[in-house]
Structure 1
Amino acid sequence: MNLGIIGEWTEESFKQAADHQLDFVEFCVNVNKNADEFLNRTGEIRNWITRYNVGVGSVGRWGSDRIGKDGIIEEELDREIRLIQAASELGCKVYVCGCNKVEELSYHENCQLAIAYFSKLMEAGQSRGVKIAVYNCSWNNFVDNAMAWTVIHGYLKELGIKYDPSHSRYAGRDYLKEMRDWGKRFEHVHIKGSLIVDGTRLDDPPAGLDQTDWGSFMAVLYSVQYKGGLSIEPHSKTWVGELGNQGIDYTVRMMMRFLFR
């Protein structure tokens, strides 16, 4: 396993990763960001990879509409194929995505369309050496739980999962059970804290300063022989600025203990 952090496509992100002795930076080219800006900066990013000896562990896109009641949204499919191409050019082996649910359609119909969409991404990824993984976040995505994985990943044997225990905890599920049952399909993992007080989500503090059992979490990853990336995700409204930097330092120190380096 290797350790990295989510960042922006800037030189500062690579410098921060290098300063923390991390292996990679992850890029989230989400629906609220300019995908063309990212695509136009791949040349600069390649230079930073070489300069700082820090790779790109994952490229992904959260929140977009991929399917509609009339089928696949071709404009979004084209955009994601171009992002997969960019990931390949950056030496990145994992592309992360999801699939929205169309309310007018049945669950079965939604699954059929999701399978069709992911199949096209997998075809594009296979020819470029990039694995496709579905995020378990519910942001405009219904393929975030064991029922959906049983249908969709059960059919698409090479489709992976991007796993984050906080999403499972906030949804009231057993993250260790999900990891045991589906960990063989994990292609990428987020390291993000989660804090629930009186049954309500309070904050996403740095991993290690939250309620996740990170020792058991890592033990299950070892048990399923996971060898992919562990990507730190700073996601708190409290831990920002200098406090946020201290939180990242804390999480890095904790995770390094589990990696036996």
Structure 2
Amino acid sequence: MKLGIIGEPNEASFKLAKEKGLEFIEFCINEGSDIEQFLRDVGKISEWIATYGVAVQSIGRWGTDKIDSKGRLIEEELHYSYRLIDAASELGCENFVCGCNYVKGLSYYENSCLAIEYFSKLIAYGKDKGVKVSTYNCDWNNFVDNEMAWTMIHGHLKDLGIKFDPSHSRYAGRDYLKEMKEWGERFEHVHIKGSVIVNGERFDDPPAGLDQTEWHTFMAILYAKGYNGGLSIEPHSSVWKGELGEKGVDYTIQYLKELMV
């Protein structure tokens, strides 16, 4: 496995990753991001990869609508995804991650069929570019985040992967270890983010190793499933910021490296 971190698409992110001994950066070009600027900067990013010896492991797009209110694929968003897959291919990045929104007024079956149509197009496009497509297990404008959706959609699309983050499962009340046991073979990318639940409510996302996730068991299942992809640290806490946040990232790096064999 490889250890990396989510960062901004700038040179500072590559410097930081290099200083901390990380192997890759992940970019999340989500709703509200300046996607055109990112695409213009692909040439610079290629130079930073060469300069610092730090790869780009995953490019994701969270939160945007893929299907409109009438059940039609949004062509503009589809082409944004294509262009991000192009960027991933140019950068030697093997993963593109996205989700699919649920359209109210349509049945679960109809929504699943639309998601299958959307992901099928991305998978076919990515194959020619050497880029794998995965869904994310977060519910941010995405219903393809749980075992029922995976059974319907991933069960049909054998080449569709899963980007897995145990915190999302924990906060949604699901058994993340069970999900890993049953779906771990489909994992193409993994986020490392701590999670703490107090009195049934989300409390904070501290550094991994200072939270309630069973990280030893988590890693054991990944190894059992033959996972050999990226472990992407996601600083996500409102508490662990600034100097404390830096210490938290350092703690997570040391903690995860002790679990990697």
Q: Give the TM bin, normalised by the shorter chain.
A: over 0.9
- What amino acid maps onto 2:21 in structure 1? Q
Q: Which residue of 2 aligns with 1:257?
A: 258
Q: Which residue of 2 aligns with 1:104?
A: 105
Q: Which residue of 1 aligns with 2:214?
A: 213
Report deviation, 1:18.
Answer: 0.5
Tell whether the 8 Å contact from 2:164 to 2:191 is kept in structure 1 after alignment.
yes
Consecutive unaligned residues of structure 2, counting only runs of 5 or more, are none
- What amino acid maps onto 2:126 in structure 1? G
State the alpha-carbon separation in 1 of the partners of residues 102 and 209 from structure 2.
33
Q: TM-score scaled by structure 1?
A: 0.99
Report deviation, 1:70.
Answer: 3.4
Q: Which residue of 2 aligns with 1:223?
A: 224
Question: How big is the alpha-carbon RMSD for the aligned residues of Structure 1 and Structure 2?
Answer: 0.5
Tell whether the 8 Å contact from 2:196 to 2:211 is kept in structure 1 after alignment.
yes
Q: Which residue of 1 aligns with 2:54?
A: 54
State the alpha-carbon separation in 2 of the partners of residues 242 and 223 from structure 1.
36
Q: How many residues align?
A: 260
- What secondary structure is seen at the aligned counterpart in 2 of 1:206? coil
Deviations 1:68-108 (Å, cap 9, x if unpaired)? 22310101000110000000000000000000000021100
Consecutive unaligned residues of structure 1, counting only runs of 5 or more, are none
Q: Which residue of 2 aligns with 1:21?
A: 21
Q: TM-score scaled by structure 2?
A: 0.99
- What amino acid maps onto 1:103 in structure 2? K
Tell whether the 8 Å contact from 2:71 to 2:114 is kept in structure 1 after alignment.
no
State the alpha-carbon separation in 1 of the partners of residues 13 and 198 from structure 2.
32
Q: Which residue of 1 aligns with 2:237?
A: 236
Report deviation, 1:44.
Answer: 0.5
Q: Which residue of 2 aligns with 1:176?
A: 177
State the alpha-carbon separation in 2 of the partners of residues 240 and 70 from structure 1.
41
Runs of 4+ in 1 over 2 A off after TM superposition: none
Deviations 1:165-185 (Å, cap 9, x if unpaired)? 000000111100000000000
Tell whether the 8 Å contact from 2:71 to 2:103 is kept in structure 1 after alignment.
no
Report deviation, 1:147.
Answer: 0.2
Deviations 1:4-52 (Å, cap 9, x if unpaired)? 0000001000011011100000000001111111100000000100111
Q: Percent identical across equivalent pairs?
A: 63
Q: Which residue of 2 aligns with 1:64?
A: 64
Alignment of 1:191-210 (within 5 A): 191-210=192-211
